[in-house]
Structure 1
Amino acid sequence: MGSFKNAAIAFLAPLPSVLFYLSFLHHYRHRSSPSPPPSDHLWGWCFHHPLLLANVLFFANVDVLFWLIGLLLSNHWLIDLYWTVIPVMLVHYFASHPLAKADAARSAVVTVLTWVWSVRLTHNYFRRERWQWGAREDWRFNEMRKEYGRPWWWISFFAVYLSQQVFLIGICLPMYAIHSSDKPWNIWDSLATVACLSGIVIAYFADTQLYEFVSENETLSKHGAPSVPNLDTGIWRYSRHPNYFGEQLWWWSLFVYAWNVGQGWMFIGPLVNSLCLAYVTVLVERRMLKKDHRAEAYREYQRRTSVWIPWFKRTSGVPKAKSS
């Protein structure tokens, strides 16, 4: 019953912004005058300021409404799910806005790639949550709730929601750039497409191998057998966080499209996201070292394995015994 309730909440939560935007498009397409609407009216302002409108809708619908829902449920799980969905909503928003102009091939390819990225990440989210809606929230939010105590109810607005607006709008800026230029497709678009697909594929295999590792350890635990302390096979043999690497490759490759149409300043989006993920990497590794049954094995793993970029193992540094 709880999962059904959460599913209903997930489907209904974004409707205010979706319905508002559809109303704007309907009004624009059925107006009598062919000239652009004046900017001193609501629909005129929406027409002249597509990026600001995206931020206003995000603030009202995600930052405020999702936050209130999280307070009522005492669980901020909804933002995790919509991290995988909002980029799809944004790419369609930028593509459908009346001021949009874009090379048809570039727009279509990026839209399809964003859907593929979203389906992969959404599938991984539900697989990890055992196909339940809102079963739990991000472990980092749990730790912050314990750390801040009673003030967490208002701190969560900034830490969980407003910060997500900065990250998500920032890393999705290339979608706006793509739909603000009709520069023809060229070799850089082809290279960006290959790199984007590579990032999605790497992240898929990394997350799948991690899921199988966790599932096997849970099975061993149920049968009273000792668990495997560390995942050091497959792509995880060459990187301690290949799933993070795949995600970063996706976002930086998406930025190449923006750079290619003359919006190189948009590197700030993936850069901020990479810095945030670097901090998350530190938190994850500290958490791993707090687990006594795997701390020693993980320290050795750290010494020998690249952090993000897959690379060959380093030598362990243990001297070989001299032969007599």
Structure 2
Amino acid sequence: MTAHTSSLNVQNALLAALVPLPSICFYLAMLRYSIPDVDGVGRDETFWNARWGALCKWGVRHPLGLLNVLFFLNVNLLFWFISFVQHSTWLIDLYWSILPVMITHYFSSHPLALYDQLRSKAVTLLVWIWSIRLTHSYFRRENWNWGEREDWRFSNLRKKHVKNWWWISFFIVYVSQQIFLVGICLPLYAIHRSQLPWTFWDALATGICVSGITIAYFADTQLYRFVRGNSLLRELGGPTAPVLEKGLWFYSRHPNYFGEQLWWWGLALYSWSVRQGWTVVGTCINSCCLAYVTVLVERKLLLKKTRTSAYKRYQQSTSVWIPWFKAELD
């Protein structure tokens, strides 16, 4: 690692640690303001104090509304501005695995939070485990570098819309992420708005979530070893394997996506347990989006001529998402 790369890593790591502070500081200040004065002394109702008080009261009454406002200001606008300076949208890729943890603690600590302790603790622990797994997978893929590259889909769009990327990126990269991330985290809101006791559905949801995390971990690990092995063979001048067909990838073309979806639908099942089934709308949107991403990934894989025929045969014999037995080919 060069001195420049090391310095850039430190800068990006510091940046990643600092970017959520505006929302965190505002929320903590709001919580402090919402606590009644224990000494009975009223607050100084100056013009600005009155406006601040009105904002805090609105945030207390509307947890979902406040979450969306903070997301828009802190993620959409701030991350968007940073992407201009750095010419990269890498931050949103990293924070995809961090924001659900922050949202979980936001809902559980909100003044209107009302929940079953066992369900809340189980879900919070699961979200942390999911986040650690996905964050580890992200850094392992990026060779433990901070902000070395951005998502290939955004890079392709940047090249395609060179002149208009400055405003297109705001909607495609950031506003869309607000829809997806806040949407799939709606079950976390439902969980922390109900005191219904733990049921069979919660136990089933826990099992599904654990299964999803486990499958995604092993699928990502197998893919990482495959890519790394091919890189070493390429450096040595040897033949590389065109398609990964071992482990979970023998039964599914995208077991990592399957595991990820299993996780989110397991989380959605908790909202069914607390009779808030409407919150699965975000999970449905996320699944539809990932189905489209699957198409994009497979198109990209077919572009490389050395693997085209092998991957087409793989497509014909192997299930897309759900692991299943191989189809017989002539």
Counterpart check, 1:156 vs 2:162: no
Q: Does 1:128 align with 2:141?
A: yes
Contact persistence 2:115–2:192 (CA under 8 A) = yes
Q: Are 1:268 and 2:274 matched, yes or no? A: no
Take 1:38 and 1:9, find their aligned partners in 2: how far apart are those partners? 31
2:4 maps to what in 1?
none
| Residue 4 of structure 2 is aligned to residue 4 of structure 1 | no
Given that 2:33 and 2:53 are in contact with CA atoms closer than 8 Å, whether structure 1 keeps it comes out as no
Partner of 1:322: none
Find the residue that maps to 2:256 and give its secondary structure. helix
What does the per-residue CA deviation read over 1:101-143, in whole Å, with 9 as the maximum and x for residues that have no partner? 0000000000000000000000000000000000000000011
Pairwise CA RMSD of aligned residues?
1.4
Amino acid at match of 1:75: S
**Alpha-carbon distance in 1 for matches of 2:230, 2:98:** 30
Amino acid paired to 1:309: I
Aligned to 1:185: 198
Q: Aligned AA for 1:14?
A: P
Match of 2:55 among 37, 42, 51: 42
Query: Is the Cα–Cα contact under 8 Å of residues 239 and 310 in structure 1 kept in the other structure?
Result: yes
Q: Which residue of 1 aligns with 2:105?
A: 92
One-letter code of the match for 2:249? Answer: W
TM superposition outliers: structure 1 runs of 4+ over 6 Å = 37-40
Aligned residue type for 1:141: F
**2:12 partner amino acid:** N
Deviation, 1:46, is 1.0
For 1:25, the aligned partner's letter is: L
SS where residue 307 of structure 2 aligns?
Answer: helix
| TM-score under structure 2 length normalisation | 0.93
Q: 1:29 aligns with which of 31, 35, 40?
A: 35
What is the match of residue 44 of structure 2?
Answer: none
| Structure 1 segment 184-263 matched on structure 2, within 5 A | 184-263=197-276
Spell out, residue by residue over 1:145-176, the C-alpha distance to the aligned partner (whole angstroms, 9 max, x if none). 11112100110000000000000000000000
Secondary structure (helix, strand or coil) at the match of 1:287 reads: helix
Asked if the contact 1:38/1:45 (under 8 Å) is kept, the reply is no
Q: Which runs of 5+ in 1 are unaligned?
A: 319-324
Match of 1:53 among 59, 63, 66: 66
Q: Distance in 2 between matches of 1:259 and 1:58?
A: 26
Stretches of structure 2 lacking an aligned partner (at least 5 in a row) = 1-6, 41-49
Partner SS for 2:144:
coil
Give 1:63's match in structure 2, choosing from 72, 76, 87: 76
What is the aligned counterpart of 1:111 among 124, 148, 166?
Answer: 124
**Contact preservation (8 Å) 1:39, 1:48:** no
Aligned partner of 1:304 among 317, 324, 330: 317
TM-score (structure 1 length as normaliser): 0.95
Pair 212,143 (structure 1): closer, same or farther in 2 beyond 3 Å: same
C-alpha distance in structure 2 between counterparts of 1:118 and 1:290, whole Å: 32
Q: CA deviation at 1:31?
A: 3.2
State how far apart, in whole Å, the 2-side matches of 1:5 and 1:76 are: 15
- More displaced stretch, 301-310 vs 256-265: 256-265
Name the SS for the 2:15 alignment partner: helix
Is the partner of 1:41 in helix, strand or coil? Answer: helix
- Aligned residue identity for 1:132: N
- The corresponding residue for 1:167 is 180
Sequence identity (%): 58
Structure-2 separation of matches of 1:99 and 1:267: 21
For residues 106 and 278 of structure 2, the distance between their equivalents in structure 1, rounded to whole angstroms, comes to 21
